[in-house]
Amino acid sequence: MTTELARLDPPIKSTQVAELVEWAEAAQAAHQIAITLVQTSFVPEQFRDKPHEATAAILAGAEVGLSPLGSLRSFDIIKGVAAPRAMTLRAITQAAGHEVWIDESSSTRAIVAGRRRGSERVERSTWTMDRARTLGLAGKDQYRKQPEAMLIARATSELCRLIASDAILGISYSIEELVDDPAALNGGEVEDKPKPKAKRTAKRKPLDQPAAERSSIPDSAAGPKPDPEPPLEGPPFDDGSPPKITPEQITGLHAGFTELGVKDRESRLAYARHVVRRDDLTTSHDLTKDEASAVIDAIRVDIAAKEHEQ
């Protein structure tokens, strides 16, 4: 009986246990590193004061050969989905010995080619503005501002999956693809959620209406019951205004603009106005939290494009 059970349920190999223990030790070390790094300005804002998220990014990066700081700079999180940038996929692919090069690039078409190590077969990915337009991407801000960089990014991600899916450990999407395609965040299906209803403020009943008259209206005729009346004392109503830019985002904006080379105040405001489409913007403090995130994301894309051109 013991022999039969052993055949049916063989023990875990000692090498597997050793690998698991080694991984756990690496995870603990990554967590210790993350605790220190997330308190500094050297990590992207999305990981600031989030050691657990940073630990996961460091471990994910280590699996494809990235250093801790390189991992934190290379992964972004969009709606809970972590993904690398296209240039990161290219770096990982090339580090594995595969070849990636740009055959052609312009504001209307990008062709990225590559070849697996030891193979003579050349694969190519072509992205055009017509293709982007068909997918509803051409009207997006980044495609209007820097079409060449975005077409190269999409072609690069596609090409790396063709020739080096093993090197990138089956990473499904780059950050550029997730930003472009909401369906990718849902396993291929776009959520069809109704838009949230606007908040209603409670209305008091007219004071000149007699109390007996106010209370004699049947519930069936009165329609939906109004929201509960607010207390006479206490904090004011939430007016539904979106949250303002955070101090961390202000720091991130200044650092990003400096790295991008946009130094004077008016140029920075013009950049932000273009991204958020607000001509009335006179100071970064007027940005909402979401608007600030959009500007920071745009700066990152421009920095990546600038590095690519160099």
pLDDT at 277: 80
Decide: residue 103, CB within 10 A, 0-12 exposed, 13-18 middle, 19+ buried. middle
Is 200 inside a domain boundary? no
Is position 6 within any domain? Answer: no
Both tokens of residue 29? 């070390």
State yes or no: pLDDT of 18 exceeds 90.
no
pLDDT of 19-66, one tens digit each? 778 878 888 888 888 898 888 888 888 788 888 888 888 887 777 777
Q: What is the pLDDT of residues 210-225, one digit of tens each?
A: 444 444 444 444 445 5
Min mean pLDDT across 93-102, 152-161, 171-180 is at 171-180
Q: What is the mean pLDDT of the chain?
A: 74
Domain boundary among 165, 186, 207: 186
98 pLDDT tier (thresholds 50, 70, 90): very high
The pLDDT of residue 292 is above 70: yes
Q: What pTM was estimated for this model as a whole?
A: 0.46
Q: Are residues 180 and 120 in the same domain?
A: yes
Q: What is the pLDDT of residue 248?
A: 85
Residue 180 lies in a domain: yes
Is the per-residue pLDDT at 3 higher than 80? no
Q: How far is the C-alpha of 179 from the C-alpha of 298, rounded, in Å?
A: 11
Domain of 267, in residue numbers: 247-309
Residue 185 confidence (pLDDT) above 70: no
Buried b (16+ CB within 10 A) or exposed e, 247-284: eebeebbeebbeebebeeeeebbebbebbbeeeebeeb
Domain ends where: 78, 105, 125?
Answer: 78
Interior CA angle at 227 toward 225 and 233, to 5°? 140
Residues 92 and 25 in one domain: no
User: Please, which residues bridge with residue 111 across strands?
Assistant: 104, 126
Tell me how far CA of residue 259 lies from CA of 34, 216, 307, in angstroms.
24, 68, 11
